Structure 1
Amino acid sequence: MTTRPADQPDRPPAPAAPDLREDEVLRPRAERPGSGWRRLLHDVTGGRVNPGRSDVEERRAELLERVRGRLPGAHRVAVMSVKGGVGKTTVAACLGLTLAEHRGDRAVVLDANPDAGTLADRLTGDSRVTVRELLDDIDRVATWTDVSRYTSLAGRLQVLASEQDPASGDAFRRDEYERVCDLLGRYFNIIVTDSGTGLVHSAMEGTLARADSVVVVGAPTVDGAGRASKTLDWLVAHGHDDLARDAVVVLSGDRQSPEVDAGRVLEHFRARVRGVVEVPHDPHLATGGRIDPDRLRPATAAAFLELAALVADAFDVRRRR
């Protein structure tokens, strides 16, 4: 029997070595190109010659990885603009479509415009059932199937239309928005709200009270950029400085002027918010009709993928409740 000297203390057993992961053992390989001459060369040589993905493909892969980031709970995104006609509803719709397409969880866009919003028209053309019917029946909604009776579907994206009769007198109030948003949070991972253009109406108060992040829509014009900046000022002045600081600003290129220094506009917003995205003019979106993602120009689709990635960057940071 072997004895240990009295002055030699017992030593704890050595910790087990961690398992080797595949990515630590295998030599890195260039990813298969997705298109162009790189793909042709790869396929013609049976993969023996692989130039790898282009810079554009690498950038898209990086954005997709961010878009698909972990989401620990429901995340509420408010898309807002104090000025109409700058593409707010288009941005809300395309953001929702992009997130729903590239993630495996559930996403919904809610039209919270108290003045007969057009979100459902742009996405599905079906606004027969609206948030008003959902509110009337909300105490009887207890399952995913129940919720889906009040939404329409655009690809993988669920759409909840706003009240379509401006003469109904049933304005969308703060307490109603919060009840709907809380209900949706039980069945959806991502809730995108297309807000009205007024900052003082009751539904906007509820939207900001529930929002985890904000997208402010403007344009690279004097009035479009000025109103977007004033929207950020308003958020700060009304106690939402955290949302303003972490906001993403979208500059819609449907309206622009060569007399405006776009560089200075970008510099202004980059100093104020977490991210800025420029969405180029797109003839398909400019019609104001039903949005078909397959008809977007590549640059437009790339801009909305960048927007979705910026929004998804905040998924792990739960700033507000």
Structure 2
Amino acid sequence: MNPPAPRPGGPAVAQLDERSIVRERGDRPSHGWRAGVFRMSRGLVNPGLGDAERARQELLARIRRPLRGAHRIAVASIKGGVGKTTVTACLGLVLSENRGDRVIALDANPDAGTLADRLTAETSVTVRDLLDNITTTRSLTDVARYTSLAGRLQVLASEQDPAASEAFDRDEYERVSAVLTRFYNIVLTDSGTGLVHSAMEGTLALADGLVVVGAPTVDGASRAAKTLDWLVAHGHAEQVEQAIVVLCCDRWSREVDRDRIRDYFAARCRAVVEVPFDAHLATGGRIELPELRPATVDAYLALAAHVADGFR
């Protein structure tokens, strides 16, 4: 129905919406001295947001970018021990805590992966159980029988028996992915060490986004570079151009030129994020977001924002 026409000679009738009828309140600070002044004055004095808080709000706005359909993100590295599982876990936690849709993290490591150990410590039910019952999995409730929960993040553990996990191949990965993308908006895959196993082929073939993990060390940087080289050589040049490189800085040396490493990956990929050392992550135990240093949280917010920039 069209809005009523204004009376002849009268003022134009404006649409009534939030922008037109709610008085400007300004941004309300929640941290630091600005928040203290706001609370002490009962809101009468509002100094506005500081630069850091404004930057964080801008990151959150990017993270909450609307997403149509499902988006699959592969987290990969040609080398183990650089923090790939930690990156998958923290990225999943940040995305799930700051978005309103459904996020799941899948451990596709063929060698008894530790993603569930880092998030929920629940590995009694795994992706193998889902595969065994995949023909009768028809609803979100059915899928939830095979996952565990870390905050708002659903976690699907890898098979812990190495003999059984070797059978997790491309076809089975694609079958699992088809089920997950029916019920989840964002599917994160911790792809395991290496790039040549069959499940990794399926991960790369279906991925809408790619995160490559390395470190600001000679071996960590060179292995991340070789990961990109391998991907380009095997037909994934476009994914490399749009990839995000994460440099886990739990190991570093003043003898290494970190700026040069960062610039190298920035020239090859869409973005580079450096994650600082964090004692909580270094334990190798269960990850809890409130226990992370503010600088670590900021790094993962930046990573999540870069990932969300790729949503279509």
TM-score by length of 1: 0.90
Query: Which residue is 1:194 aligned to?
Result: 190
**Residue from 49, 55, 61 that aligns with 1:53:** 49
The 3-state SS of whatever aligns with 2:149 is strand
1:217 aligns with 2:203: no
Alignment of 1:240 onto 2:225: no
Quick check: 1:102 aligned with 2:98? yes
Range 182-191 or range 233-242, more displaced:
233-242
Q: What one-letter code is carried by the residue in structure 2 that aligns with 1:273?
A: C
Q: CA separation in 2, counterparts of 1:124 and 1:72?
A: 29
> Is 2:296 aligned against 1:295?
no
| Aligned partner letter, 1:287 | T
Q: Which amino acid aligns with 1:231?
A: T
Aligned amino acid, residue 226 of structure 1: S
Instruction: Say whether residues 1:140 and 2:119 are aligned partners.
Output: no
Equivalent in 107, 112, 117 of residue 113 of structure 2: 117
User: Following the alignment from structure 1 to structure 2, what is the Cα–Cα distance between the partners of residues 105 and 244?
Assistant: 27
1:23 Cα deviation (Å)? Answer: 3.2
- For 1:184, the equivalent position in structure 2 comes to 180
State the secondary structure of the residue aligned to 1:196: strand
Letter in 1 for 2:196: V
2:300 matched residue in structure 1: 304
State whether residues 86 and 255 of structure 1, in contact with CA within 8 Å, keep that contact through their aligned partners in structure 2: no
Partner residue of 2:38? 42
What SS does the corresponding residue of 2:164 show, helix, strand or coil? Answer: coil
Letter aligned with residue 234 of structure 1: W
Aligned to 2:261: 265
Contact 1:30–1:51 (CA under 8 A) maintained in structure 2: no
Q: Which amino acid aligns with 1:282?
A: D
Backbone CA RMSD of aligned residues:
1.5
Q: Distance in 2 between matches of 1:281 and 1:56?
A: 20
SS of alignment partner, residue 167 of structure 1: helix
Structure 2 residues without counterparts, runs of 5 or longer: 1-11
The residue type equivalent to 2:55 in the other structure is R
Task: Give the C-alpha shift of residue 28 in structure 1.
Answer: 5.0
SS of the aligned residue for 2:104 comes to strand
Whichever residue aligns with residue 174 of structure 1, its letter is R
C-alpha contact 1:120 1:160 (8 A) present in aligned 2? yes
Aligned residues: 301
Instruction: Quote the Cα distance in structure 1 between the aligned partners of 2:169 and 2:233.
Output: 22
Give, in whole Å, the separation in 2 of the partners of 1:113 and 1:47: 52
Q: 3-state SS of the aligned residue for 2:225?
A: helix
- AA aligned to 1:255 is R
Shift of 1:57: 0.6
8 Å CA contact retained: 1:30, 1:53: no
| Partner in structure 2 of residue 173 of structure 1 | 169
2:154 corresponds to which letter in structure 1?
Q
What is the CA distance between 1:21 and its match in structure 2?
4.9
Secondary structure of 1:168's counterpart equals helix
The code of the aligned residue for 1:242 comes to E
Is the 1:111–1:195 contact (alpha carbons within 8 Å) kept by the matching residues of 2? yes
1:283 corresponding residue in structure 2: 279
Letter in 1 for 2:132: D
26-35 or 138-147: bigger deviation: 26-35
Partner of 1:313: 309
Q: Please point out which of 41, 54, 76 is paired with 2:72.
A: 76
Displacement of 1:171 in angstroms is: 2.4
* TM-score (norm: length of structure 2): 0.93
